[in-house]
Amino acid sequence: MPELPEVETYRRFINETCLHQPIAEVTVQDPRRQLQLDLDEFRQALIGSQFTGTERLGKQLFLLTDRSTIVTLHFGMTGDVAYYRDETDTPRFARAVFRFQNSFHFAFVDSRKFGRLGLTESVAEFKQRKKLGPDALTLTTEELTQGLAKKKSAIKPLLLDQRIAPGIGNWIADEVLFQARLHPERPAPTLTPAEVERLAAATRQVLETAVRAEAIYRDFPAHYLIHAREWDTAPASETGQTHLNCPCCQTLIQKKYVGGRATYYCPNCQVV
């Protein structure tokens, strides 16, 4: 689930829990898969150091330390964070655990092991190496126009391209397109400047709303498409409420695969 709003929420959580406390031990359950460097190097770089602050770019999280090294965290599809004192409270699927000298623990939790941990010298270096574009939370019309230049494909896969506006994931992409009233398969070259501007504005607005709601989807505004996604119908059906219709025009929400990802849209509000 971790798209930009979740990662931003994790960042704030870490800021409130993990800073300025010497690290006593670091364990990684499956370093060959999830750690991008040797486990001993990782431990030596961090044991005895403290986290001093955090940064975020798209879905990538950076933990600054009082040394010249920065921890990089990517949460994959199922990454989460946890902070607890007793080892007996270690969450299921804790894949990496930082124990602080005050005996509290910070855990990188990730059932599916798609997440990654690594080290970098600087955020700028990391951004360049990964070719990440400008953060989607503050995406300007100019940045989006630049990012879409010479692109030929459908707009939705481009919104998911982290080199254009990192932070947008599959669900947010659908929400942004719905709010901008654009069909997910619109070819990027056919977008008018006004539509690109609408898309950039919707991106900022959806992400700001999601961050404000701390990525808790049921707290999103009622006119959001996200309530119509299938996964929302399970809990909703228990209360007798389903939201499979467009919150704007009541048309049945369609599902199809665009760029290999499940895509939800309103065939009435979002015309190609």
Partner DNA sequence: CAGATTGTTAGGAG
Partner DNA sequence: ACTCCTAACAATCT
261 belongs to the catalytic site: yes
Helix and strand numbers, DSSP H then E, in the chain? 9, 10
Contact 258, 156 (CB under 8 A): yes
150 belongs to the catalytic site: no
2 belongs to the catalytic site: yes
Minimum Å distance from CB 50 to DNA? 27
Residue 42, by phi and psi: left (phi above 0), alpha (psi -120 to 50) or beta?
alpha
70 to 59, 131, 181: CA distances (angstroms): 16, 18, 40
Nearer to DNA, 1 or 211 (CB): 1
Minimum Å distance from CB 48 to DNA? 29
Catalytic residue among 43, 181, 204, 261: 261
Binding residues for DNA (CB under 7 A): 1-3, 30, 33, 58-60, 74, 76-78, 93, 111-114, 130, 150-154, 157, 160, 162, 166, 169-172, 234, 259-262
Minimum Å distance from CB 113 to DNA? 5
Across the beta sheet with 79-84, the strand order is 23-28, 94-100, 105-110, 79-84
**DSSP letters of 92-154?**
TTEEEEEEETTS-EEEEEETT---EEEEES-HHHHHHHTT--S-GGG--HHHHHHHHTT--SB
Nearer to DNA, 91 or 267 (CB): 91
175 belongs to the catalytic site: no
Nearer to DNA, 76 or 267 (CB): 76
Minimum Å distance from CB 18 to DNA? 22
Nearer to DNA, 26 or 132 (CB): 132
Catalytic residue among 5, 6, 8, 59: 59
Contact 152, 189 (CB under 8 A): yes
Which residue numbers are catalytic?
A: 2-3, 59, 261
